[in-house]
Amino acid sequence: MNLETAKLFCDVVELKNFSRAAEIHGVSQSAVSQQIAQLEMEYKVQLVDRKKRPIELTAAGELFLQACQDIIERCQRLNSEIGELNQQSCKIHLAAIFSIGMHTLQPYVKKFMGIYPDVNLSIEYKDAKDIYERLLRGNIDIGVVALPRRDKNIEVYPFENETMLLVCAPDHPFSRENEIDIHHLHGEKFVAFSADVPTRQQVDGMLKKYSVAVRTVMEFDNIETIKRAVEINSGISILPKPCLRSELAAGTLKAISFSNEHFFRPTGIIIRKDKHLTKAARYLIELLRKDFESDI
């Protein structure tokens, strides 16, 4: 039995589902079934009661699970401790959605690198779905997403609550307002996120709450393209404040707060629950969880 097989068995037990475990590991359901069957042949015991729905472990399976969990935890600890003996070999894989990675995250990264200059911090910009999948497969150590979803295999820590503002071009009539009633957006041309982006669902919920119907003229999967469309007055939009700093400083966009209530987009740090993190990775998470606004 190798380490990957141990991880696969633990995931099957945790998820109580062969197909879901197969999806996480990027293999077919039949491949998972064959690996479990091979284990049972090697140890000459039945590990899983397949007649039960959801599946259940036999007494031998319970012992086997404890052993697998112990093996995985020991290997992760060993890798972590060996890596920490030489910080130059320590690498942290972090993935963030584009809007957070490019804007909100940067000051924290700068502060972290000041404390751990020899750590290789690899940062990727991915969509939320890809981040969750890569995190569960163990391809990344830390994820940072907007509107984090709950998953029994993922630990979620709050990051920043990003204020949501109305955004328009400088020559749009709304640009003269210091604050605006959300009802005034009714019937306006609107540049939106794509339907599968979590922030789109949040913005739709904001508008629905106040019975506001906008005219969606464009949809994009990233915040930078939305900003470019708003700059040329293709429509208005609702975007998180941290992503607007450069445009507001340059005067290419105008951002207006809402008078109805304070809207914000919650963001979060996600890690796989059974992931053993290095000392540097744990520090990075603590850094992101704390309010360092006065320092950055």
The structural domains of the chain, with segments of one domain joined by +, span 3-84, 88-158+266-289, 160-265
What is the rounded distance in angstroms from the CA atom of residue 96 to the CA atom of residue 114? 20
Q: Do the domains 160-265 and 88-158+266-289 match in fold? A: yes
In single-letter form, the type of residue at position 95 comes to: A
d(CA 258, CA 105): 25
The pLDDT value recorded for residue 187 is 97
* pLDDT at 89 (0 to 100): 52
The pLDDT score that the predictor gives to residue 275 is: 86
- Containing 217, the helix (H) or strand (E) segment is strand 215-220
Per-residue pLDDT tens digits of the chain, which is 296 residues long:
688 889 999 999 988 888 888 988 889 999 999 999 999 999 999 999 988 888 899 999 999 999 999 998 888 888 777 766 655 457 899 999 999 998 899 899 999 999 888 888 999 999 999 999 999 998 999 999 999 998 889 999 999 999 999 999 999 999 999 999 999 999 999 999 999 999 999 999 999 999 999 999 999 999 999 999 999 999 999 999 999 999 999 999 999 999 999 999 999 999 999 888 888 899 999 999 875 444 44
What is the pTM for the complete model shown?
Answer: 0.68
Closest by Cα among 278, 276, 282, 217 to 71 = 276
Q: Which CATH architecture has domain 3-84?
A: Orthogonal Bundle (1.10)
pLDDT, position 52? 83
**Alpha-carbon distance values, 65 to 28, 36, 70, 274, 285 (Å):** 22, 12, 9, 14, 29
Give the per-residue pLDDT at 292. 40
Superfamily of the domain at 88-158+266-289: Periplasmic binding protein-like II (3.40.190.10)
Residue 276, pLDDT score: 83
pLDDT at 296: 40
Answer yes or no: are the C-beta atoms of 48 and 61 closer than 8 Å. yes
Q: Check if the beta carbon of residue 221 is closer than 8 Å to that of residue 192.
A: no
74 Cβ contact partners less than 8 Å away, ≥ 6 residues apart: none
Q: DSSP string of 133-195?
A: HHHHHTS-SEEEEESPPP-TTEEEEEEEEEEEEEEE-TTSGGGG-SEE-GGGGTT-EEEEE-T
**Fold (CATH) for 160-265:** D-Maltodextrin-Binding Protein; domain 2 (3.40.190)
3-state secondary structure of 20: helix
Which neighbouring-strand residues pair with 156? Answer: 270
The number of CA neighbours under 13 Å toward the Cβ of 153 is: 18
